């Protein structure tokens, strides 16, 4: 799908969690966006998306957004639980080390988006150094104890982008 020439709609923002929840720490991005969606409301509306391991199937999202926050397990070559953020053109370099099969698809997604000129003007990657990709639905303690740090980085970036954020009321 090639986007028509002309400007994008202003202010279209997505928060995209990627990873495989069946491989413990590999699923941190999905766990993070689920927690964000459960806890916060946004104005204007933004898309909070579970990208799972979809790889190139996520290209249509890149084609329609102005800004994207991506949350994922990233090999920073640091101790497990290290949280970092990377913006724009620096993102592909940190993905050169493939932690799992979905990183191959995600790297290809970024290159395809650039090649087709469908890369959003602002892309922000929040990553955490994983400890384990063992089969299991639970993240390790080292990752779970930093989940709030990841969420806070995403919330801070959304505020920088002038998104109004409120806590959802409990029902």
Q: What is the pLDDT of residue 105?
A: 60
41 C-beta neighbours (distance < 10 Å), count: 12
Return the residue matching tokens 């806070």.
152
Helix, strand, coil % in the chain, rounded to nearest 5: 40, 25, 35
Return the higher-pLDDT residue of 50 and 45: 50
Instruction: Provide the token pair at 161.
Output: 């982008």
Residue 138 lies in a domain: yes
Question: Using CA atoms, how far apart are residues 113 and 91, in angstroms rounded to an integer?
Answer: 13
The reported pTM is 0.84
> In the predicted model, is pLDDT for residue 34 greater than 60?
yes
Residue 90 lies in a domain: yes
> In the predicted model, is pLDDT for residue 30 greater than 50?
yes
Question: Using CA atoms, how far apart are residues 2 and 134, in angstroms rounded to an integer?
Answer: 38
Instruction: Provide the token pair at 130.
Output: 């994983």
> In the predicted model, is pLDDT for residue 16 greater than 90?
yes
Question: Using CA atoms, how far apart are residues 24 and 21, in angstroms rounded to an integer?
Answer: 6
Classified as helix, coil or strand, 127 is strand
| Alpha-carbon distance values, 1 to 16, 41, 55, 78 (Å) | 20, 30, 15, 38
Residue 75 lies in a domain: yes
Average pLDDT rounded to a whole number, residues 69-80: 92
CATH code of 89's domain: 3.40.50.1450
Residue 146's domain spans which residues?
A: 35-164
Residue 169 lies in a domain: no
> In the predicted model, is pLDDT for residue 36 greater than 80?
yes
Q: What is the pLDDT of residue 66?
A: 92
User: 44-48, 138-142, 165-169: which range is least confident on average?
Assistant: 44-48
Phi and psi, residue 152, nearest 5°: -65, -40
Residue 42 lies in a domain: yes
Phi and psi, residue 111, nearest 5°: -65, -40
Return the residue matching tokens 């602002």.
122
Digit-coded pLDDT (tens) for 87-112? 987 787 566 555 555 445 667 777 77
Digit-coded pLDDT (tens) for 106-155? 677 777 777 777 788 899 999 999 998 889 999 999 999 999 999 999 99
Return the higher-pLDDT residue of 5 and 36: 36
Residue 29 lies in a domain: no
Average pLDDT, the chain: 84
The strand pair at 122-128 and 13-18 is best described as unpaired
> In the predicted model, is pLDDT for residue 13 greater than 60?
yes
DSSP state of 59: H
Number of domains in the chain: 1
């Amino acid at each position: 799908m090639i986007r028509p020439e002309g400007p994008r709609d202003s202010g279209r923002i997505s928060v995209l969690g990627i990873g495989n929840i069946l491989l413990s720490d590999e699923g941190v991005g999905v766990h993070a966006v689920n927690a964000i969606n459960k806890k916060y409301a946004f104005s204007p509306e933004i898309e909070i998306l579970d990208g799972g391991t979809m790889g190139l199937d996520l290209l249509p999202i890149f084609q329609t957004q102005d800004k994207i926050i991506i949350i994922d397990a990233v090999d920073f070559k640091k101790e497990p639980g290290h949280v970092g953020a990377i913006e724009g053109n620096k993102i592909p370099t940190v993905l050169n080390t493939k932690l799992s099969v979905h990183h191959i698809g995600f790297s290809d997604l970024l290159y395809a988006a650039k090649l087709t000129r469908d890369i959003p003007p602002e892309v922000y990657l929040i990553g955490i150094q994983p400890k384990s990709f063992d089969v299991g639905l639970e993240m390790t303690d080292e990752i779970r104890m930093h989940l709030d740090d990841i969420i806070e980085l995403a919330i801070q970036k959304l505020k920088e982008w002038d998104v109004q954020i409120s806590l959802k009321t409990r029902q």
